[in-house]
């Protein structure tokens, strides 16, 4: 099994896990996902739309509106979420093992001005399963905090092809994306960053 390039507060970072050809192939797969389940801007319970646009693949997709955050079995249009692409499942299997398979692949799209505030991911049933993140396109500044809100943080740039595994104590660590660096990658046809997160929800 692959060894992480670095580990920051339990986050295992695999720099350049995907080579440029693998990244392009993945983007082609994701284009199909977005065609079936278009990106949308989730409303927050605070009444403001998120700056990150999202969609999902798999049995569950992440969804939010004024009534709260949750996993939903269908896209807001009413269609089922598309299947998680095989190429994406392969990344999970290589780093986490084949069983269990993830049942949600959340796709976040960051336009140049988008960001994601510090938060914990705790809408899943069992935190013993890790979360795997795949970065594509422009670099994003990832901030890692603590298991309680506040305190000292550490930041690192995530680049196209980097994969991060969040397991163990890192699974409930606060984290966010402060900004992206438009023009730092030529992978996507326009400026922006895609992040995939693979999760076991159920
Ligand atoms: C740590 N996404 O979708 S990926 C998210 O780059 C999210 O789009 C960011 O935070 C992004 O919830 C960061 C890294 C990440 C993802 C999920 C985690 C770190 C995590 C779940 C638990 C702990
Ligand atoms: Fe998160």
**What is the model's pLDDT at position 162?**
98
CA of 35 to the centre of ligand 1 (A): 23
Ligand 1 pocket, residue 196 CB under 6 Å: no
| Cis peptide bond upstream of 27, omega within 30 | no
**Of the candidates 163, 177, 164, 176, the residue with the CA atom closest to the CA atom of residue 111:** 177
| Cα 120 to ligand 2 centre (Å) | 6
197 touches ligand 1 (CB under 6 Å): yes
Whether residue 199 has its Cβ less than 6 Å from ligand 1: no
Tell me what pLDDT residue 66 has.
86
What is the per-residue pLDDT for 39? 98
> Is the minimum distance from the CB of 133 to ligand 1 under 6 angstroms?
yes
Nearest to 119 by CA among 69, 75, 72: 69
Using a 10 angstrom Cβ sphere, with 0-12 exposed, 13-18 middle and 19 or more buried, the burial of residue 185 is: buried
Cα 59 to middle of ligand 1, angstroms: 19
Contact 104, 199 (CB under 8 A): yes
185 pocket-lining for ligand 1 (C-beta < 6 Å) = no
Rounded CA separation 41/34 (Å): 13
What is the predicted pLDDT for the residue at 99? 93
Q: Mean pLDDT of residues grouped by 10 in the chain (202 residues)?
A: 93 98 98 98 90 98 91 96 98 95 98 97 93 98 97 98 96 97 98 98 92
Is the whole-model pTM more than 0.85? yes
């Amino acid at each position: 099994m692959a060894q992480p390039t670095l580990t920051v507060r339990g986050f295992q970072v695999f720099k350049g896990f995907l080579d440029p050809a693998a990244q392009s192939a993945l983007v082609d797969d994701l284009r199909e996902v977005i065609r079936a389940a278009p990106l949308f801007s989730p409303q927050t319970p605070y009444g403001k739309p998120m700056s990150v646009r999202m969609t999902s693949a798999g049995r569950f997709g992440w969804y939010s509106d004024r009534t709260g955050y949750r996993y939903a079995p269908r896209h807001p249009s009413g269609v089922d979420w598309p299947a998680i692409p095989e190429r994406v499942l392969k990344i999970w299997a290589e780093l986490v093992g084949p069983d269990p398979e993830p049942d949600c692949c959340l796709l976040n799209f960051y336009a140049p001005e988008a960001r994601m505030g510090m938060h914990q991911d705790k809408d899943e049933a069992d935190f013993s399963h890790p979360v795997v993140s795949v970065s594509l396109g422009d670099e994003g500044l990832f901030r890692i905090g603590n298991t309680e809100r506040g305190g000292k943080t550490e930041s690192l740039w995530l680049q196209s092809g980097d994969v991060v595994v969040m397991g163990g104590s890192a699974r409930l660590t606060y984290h966010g994306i402060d900004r992206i660096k438009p023009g730092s990658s030529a992978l996507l046809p326009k400026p922006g960053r895609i992040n995939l997160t693979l999760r076991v929800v159920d």
